[in-house]
């Protein structure tokens, strides 16, 4: 997600505060991937966990193609 999208106000309540949830690796708890992104005020979901996984897989596929 681009920084411009992170700065947009929530369409439900207008708040700019968001919470980024993280999916931690079970083997290495210090390493994590971005998960669900939602409004800190009303809970509106900008990106679901499944969408975050799809984005991550697409980025990994692009990186593998470049190598």
Q: What is the pLDDT of residues 6-51, one digit of tens each?
A: 888 999 999 999 988 887 777 776 777 778 889 999 999 988 888 8
The upper half-sphere exposure of residue 6, i.e. CA atoms within 13 Å in the direction of its Cβ, equals: 8
Helix (H, G, I), strand (E, B) or coil at 25: coil
* Cα 25-27-30 angle, rounded to 5 deg: 55
Both tokens of residue 35?
């998960």
| Predicted pLDDT of residue 9 | 92
How much is the pTM? 0.63
Helix (H, G, I), strand (E, B) or coil at 40: coil
Q: Name the band, by pLDDT with cuts 50, 70 and 90, for residue 67.
A: low
pLDDT at 53 over 90: no
| Predicted pLDDT of residue 42 | 95
| Predicted pLDDT of residue 15 | 93
């Amino acid at each position: 997600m681009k920084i411009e999208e992170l700065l947009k106000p929530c369409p439900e309540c207008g708040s700019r505060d968001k919470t980024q949830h993280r999916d931690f690796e079970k083997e290495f708890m210090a390493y994590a991937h971005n998960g669900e992104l939602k409004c800190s005020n009303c809970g509106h979901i900008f990106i679901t966990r499944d969408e975050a996984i799809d984005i991550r897989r697409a980025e990994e596929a692009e990186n593998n193609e470049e190598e």
